[in-house]
Amino acid sequence: MLRQVADGVLTHQSELLQNNAVVVRGNAGVLLVDPGLTRDEMACLANDLGEDRVVAGFATHPDWDHVLWYADLGDAPRYGTARCAAELEELRSNPEWKADITEWMPAEIVDDVPLDLFGLITALPAGATQIPWDGPHVRVIEHRAHATGHAALLIEEQGVLVAGDMLSDVLIPMLDVNGDPDPIEEYLAALRLFDEVADRVEVVVPGHGSVGGADDLRARIDRDRAYVQALRDGREVIDPRIGSSAKTGWEWVGDVHAGQLQRLAQRSERDVLS
């Protein structure tokens, strides 16, 4: 079901992981960001769009749940950053890529996620700062937090920040521990980019979880920064998204946190040995 969050901007949320697809109405059709997850959910999204033709898509980053597509959504160009597109091209070059992808999926939806059009992303020029489409100006804010080729989108006229896998009320910051030379600093740098545009944002749409307002945006930036700085400084992490205060159904985020601590410790040990 589509929900309007600003003038001409709507969201469609998946059930299992609360992925937020974002629809932006333009002059000749809509821009569709990160649709997902199951066939039924994407068929519902296509049906809800009605006569609003999809004229462009965008993937905020190359994680499996952000680069899905469905035939009923049409064959519009689906954009991503140059790094995002390169990551996906390399992934799809492996004959076993579908098996690799399904290992990351929750078991209960593996058979319901369409992969025929997975990851077919058109690269924006390196350093591009705008999506090429006939609609509201959508600024591309590229950074290296969470995943290679990650980008947030700022729909400037409506004051909507589409954050990708950041600024969530249910997920902690997940660092690109294996792929980034300095994942903590890159995450903090991305949060500073959000600081720079915060005065122009009225609505924040995370990749997972609840849509928030301007006050929520600032609180989420502060919360994510506190989490990452605690990891950096080796302090105990106190965060409402983990432990006994975690939202019902999201208790597993505590395991994500524990795994992240372990990988960072292993990385630190390797750095010392080298």
DSSP lists the bridge partners of residue 152 as 141
| Residue 103 structural domain | 1-124
Same domain, yes or no: 219 and 272: yes
CATH number, position 102: 3.60.15.10
Q: What is the pTM of this model?
A: 0.96
Distance CA 184, CA 218 (A): 19
Same domain, yes or no: 3 and 84: yes
Same domain, yes or no: 197 and 263: yes
Residue 88 covered by a domain: yes
Residue 133 covered by a domain: no
Same domain, yes or no: 194 and 69: no
C-beta of residue 77 within 8 angstroms of C-beta of residue 122: yes
Same domain, yes or no: 180 and 249: yes
Angstrom distances, CA of residue 124 to CA of 103, 131, 155, 208: 29, 8, 17, 24
Same domain, yes or no: 174 and 269: yes
User: What domain count does the chain have?
Assistant: 2
Residue 243 covered by a domain: yes
Of 124, 155, 189, the one marking the end of a domain is 124
Residue 109 covered by a domain: yes
Distance CA 128, CA 40 (A): 34
Q: By C-alpha distance, which of 187, 190, 216, 186 is closest to 201?
A: 216
Residue 140 covered by a domain: no
Distance CA 10, CA 20 (A): 10
Per-residue pLDDT of 37-46, as tens digits, reads 999 999 999 9
Strand ordering across the sheet containing 138-142? 138-142, 151-155, 160-164, 203-206, 212-213
Same domain, yes or no: 202 and 157: yes
Per-residue pLDDT of 113-169, as tens digits, reads 999 999 999 999 999 999 999 999 999 999 999 999 999 999 999 999 999 999 999
Same domain, yes or no: 151 and 273: yes
